[in-house]
Every structure is written in C-alpha cells, then in structure tokens.
C-alpha cells in the first residue's frame, strides 16, 4: 500500500476572524496549534514512516507540518516547500470579513466569488502593498507567475502540474507522503485524486487540522480514504 496524507493547516487568526485569507501569511491561533498537534498524534497512530513531506510557502501550513513532525516517531527528513501549494489568491477580497462583504455586495455575488469553479474575485492591484509581488517570501518567483486573483480552476492549474511532476513520482517510489497545505489547494488535489466533477467540487469543505488518509494499491489505483478524526469529518465525495 502507498499512503498519502492531506492535512489542511490548523485554524489561523484570519480563519477565526472570518476573513478572506488567500496569500496573506496569517499566524496559527492557539486552537490552530492544538489542531496541528492533534493531527500529528493521529498520523503517528498509523505507525507509518514518512520520509517526504510537502508544504506551501505560507507559515500556517509550514508551522502545522512542524507540529506534526514533532509528534512522529521519526522526523521527516525531506521537506519541500512549493508556492504552487499556496492557498487560492482571493484578489481584492483578501483581508475582508466574509459576512461584511456579503452585506456590501450581496450574498449571491459573494457565493459566486467563493464557490464558482471558474469565476475569480476582482483582482488585487499590483500597487497594493499587500500584493504578494511585494513580499520577500516570493522574491525568487517570477513575478509573472504570481497571481492578482484566482478561481478554484486557476488554483487547480498550478497545484496539479506540481503534484504530477514532483509529488506523485516520489509517492510511487517511496510510498508514504504528507502534504500540509490549504483548503483550496487541497480541494484541487482531491478533485484530481478522486476525479470529482467541476460542480461537485464546489461543495467539498475540508476542516482544519483533520488529516485525510488516502491509500493506493500497488498499481497506484485508489484503494480507500478517510478522515483520521471521524468526529470532525466532512463528505469527500459529493453526489451530483
């Protein structure tokens, strides 16, 4: 069996404040740290060795992976950070309170921005000091690759090529991998792995700090999948 763990970072400060976080580098809350530690304990209970892990450039996912690593019997030696695994960029919505934004623009419009597969929110102007092109985190990334806004489809188009080129070949060879990332980058991975339709993926919600354990057969076909904490589980496959 080949094992892939997908875990969304623990609760961030902007999750708590109900803001559109996107590429903003939010800190974990106390609850978020505890969720990450609990995720580590759940993964440890699988009694698997993990030699490889992947995370984004954003510290809420990085810190979550660090907390998981502390809980494991053997520390993961090979950890790769990839901006391609970042959260979806919410454009001009970044930093805004979701409830207040719905009051201003209407719930239907905000639902379209949040849940449509191929409709992105209004872009963030590159002159905005909060635009990621101004962040030292991305100084070595081609500025033309850094988005002003993204739909889930846009996120999928950067996450999946990275997964196919850099993660899946290692999974085939080394068998066990952990990916610590974000709600929408993980939704993109789930869409690929579970062959979820464009319509159904809009309903998938991934809770913070609850690992999804996916196993593959020797031919790399899907075997089974489940959340490690059943009390906080959500449906992975949504019926049409």
Assign 235 a pLDDT band (cuts: 50, 70, 90): confident
Assign 240 a pLDDT band (cuts: 50, 70, 90): very low
Q: 31 with 208: CB under 8 angstroms?
A: no
Q: Considering 9, 89, 131, 182, which one is annotated as catalytic?
A: 9
Assign 120 a pLDDT band (cuts: 50, 70, 90): very high
CATH class in words for 2-12+26-91+151-232? alpha beta
Q: Considering 35, 67, 87, 150, which one is annotated as catalytic?
A: 87
User: What percentage of the chain carries pLDDT values higher than 70?
Assistant: 98
pLDDT exceeds 50 at position 17: yes
pLDDT tens by residue, 155-187 = 999 999 999 999 999 999 988 999 999 999 999
- Distance, in Å, from the CA atom of 229 to the CA atom of 200, rounded to the nearest integer, reads 23
Domain ranges (residues) in the chain: 2-12+26-91+151-232
Joined together, the tokens standing for residue 166 give 């850099």
Give yes or no: 87 in active site.
yes
**According to the 3-state scheme, what is the secondary structure of the chain?**
CEEEEEEECCCEHHHHCCECCCCCCCCECHHHHHHHHHHHHHHHCCCCCCCEEEECCCHHHHHHHHHHHHHCCCCCCEEEECHHHCCCCCHHHCCCEHHHHHHHHCHHHHHHHHHCCCCCCCCCCCCCCCCHHHCHHHCCCCHHHCCCCCCHHHHHHHHHHHHHHHHHHHHHHHCEEEEEECHHHHHHHHHHHCCCCCCHHHHCCCCCCCCEEEEECCCCCEEEEEECCHHHCCCCCCCC
For range 1-17, the mean pLDDT: 96
Give yes or no: 9 in active site.
yes
For position 237, what pLDDT does the model report? Answer: 67
């Amino acid at each position: 069996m080949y094992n892939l763990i997908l875990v969304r970072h623990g609760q961030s400060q902007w999750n708590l404040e109900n803001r559109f976080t996107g590429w903003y580098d939010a800190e974990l809350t106390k609850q978020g740290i505890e969720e990450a530690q609990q995720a580590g304990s759940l993964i440890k209970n699988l009694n698997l060795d993990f030699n490889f892990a992947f995370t984004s450039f954003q510290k809420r996912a990085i810190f979550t992976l660090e907390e998981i690593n502390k809980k494991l019997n053997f520390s993961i030696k090979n950890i790769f950070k990839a901006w391609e695994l970042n959260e979806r960029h919410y454009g001009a919505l970044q930093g805004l309170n979701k409830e207040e934004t719905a009051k201003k623009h209407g719930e239907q419009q905000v639902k379209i921005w949040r849940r449509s597969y191929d409709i992105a929110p209004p872009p963030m102007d590159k002159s905005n000091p909060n635009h990621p092109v101004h962040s030292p985190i991305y100084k070595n990334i081609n500025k033309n690759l850094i988005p002003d806004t993204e739909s889930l489809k846009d996120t999928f188009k950067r996450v999946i090529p990275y997964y196919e080129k850099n993660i899946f070949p290692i999974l085939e060879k080394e068998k066990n991998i952990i990916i610590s990332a974000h709600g929408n980058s993980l939704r993109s991975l789930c869409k690929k792995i579970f062959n979820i339709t464009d319509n159904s993926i809009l309903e998938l919600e991934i809770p913070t700090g609850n690992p999804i354990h996916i196993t593959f057969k020797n031919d790399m076909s899907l075997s089974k999948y489940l959340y490690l904490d059943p009390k906080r589980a959500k449906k992975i496959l949504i019926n049409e």
